[in-house]
Chain A
Amino acid sequence: MARLIRMDTTGHSTLAEWTAGDHEAIERAVAEFRRELDSGYYAMVTEGEGHARQVTELPLDAELVILRRPIAGG
């Protein structure tokens, strides 16, 4: 099962879960994904150790999509 998670003050929260054939769950996940991006999160997909990719559309074939906040120089 694929997951959309958001890193937050709880450690992380699972916002949506979906499987390939579950259209209702996919719709919910896409809506949740959009809402989080609109609120300023960036979505990341890990691609093996040492690699990650930022995405602006929910990749339905990804196992894990992680939402992160922007970083800044200290």
Chain B
Amino acid sequence: MSGALPETAAVYWRPRVDAGRLVRRGRTWTATTFAHTVPFIGTAGLLFALEPLSFPVDFALLAHAWAIPELYARRGANVVRPKPQSDDAPQRVAVGLLGDLVGHDARELHARTGLVPERGTLGVWLVGEAGAVLVVPGGRRVFCWCVKVPEPGLPAADRIAHLLLALRSDEQGFATVANLAFSGAPWRLRRRMHPRTRPALAEGVRLSKLSSPES
């Protein structure tokens, strides 16, 4: 690991992400989800108990309780949503370079899903062209990070290579620079992911279980 990622200077107010901070952030995210959900469920239950004919309102409240966490999960899935594929010469050149940076299994997963798996100290990363998913050790929680190269015209594989190199040089700095879009259980994310990218999540969870202290 070399020095801190220089991009962290642009977000100097953010505390540097480490494993402990990540755990706290995950718990806060879960608590926030409960806070968004439980009042709707409670109110629906209370209203129905007081007046069963209020069921249309109860139904609307329960729909809110269901929709809000789903919207968050969808926001998380969007960070690795596949973009229209291009097979022009720059993309082929970029895929060649990316292939030189990763091993055979990662190349194969990228070809199938558009995401590159990368083991780090915080967990297993799935790097896409405009974001990354971190599966923490044990595979019970994911963090979806929105992070990109703000440079127009780059081939998709080059965008992934940019993120991969930054991640490899300073993993904690990478997570500090990126914006957190979602945190929760992998199954919540999976439902909202594009079918093409779902196998990458399954592989990320599998790899994270292998590196878990519990395994």
Q: Judge whether B119 and A74 touch: CB under 8 Å.
A: no
Interface size range of chain A in the complex: 20 to 34
Residues of B171-187 whose CB lies within 8 A of A: 174, 177-179
- Whose C-beta in chain B lies nearest to the C-beta of A55? B2
Q: Judge whether B168 and A52 touch: CB under 8 Å.
A: yes
User: Is A1 interfacial (CB 8 A cutoff)?
Assistant: no
User: Is A9 interfacial (CB 8 A cutoff)?
Assistant: yes
Q: Judge whether B102 and A11 touch: CB under 8 Å.
A: no
Please measure, in the bound complex, the distance between the C-alpha atom of A10 and the C-alpha atom of B145, giving whole angstroms.
Answer: 27
Residues of A1-40 whose CB lies within 8 A of B: 5, 7-12
User: Is A44 interfacial (CB 8 A cutoff)?
Assistant: yes
Q: Judge whether A52 and B146 touch: CB under 8 Å.
A: no
A26 to chain B, nearest CB (A): 23
Residues of B125-158 whose CB lies within 8 A of A: 130-131, 145-151, 153-155, 157-158
Q: Judge whether B168 and A73 touch: CB under 8 Å.
A: no
Which of B25-33, B61-69, B92-100, B193-201 contacts the other chain?
B92-100
Which of B36-44, B52-60, B159-167, B203-211 contacts the other chain?
B159-167
B: residues with CB less than 8 A from A are 1-3, 5-7, 10-11, 79, 89-94, 96-97, 100-103, 118-120, 130-131, 145-151, 153-155, 157-158, 161-163, 165-166, 168-170, 174, 177-179
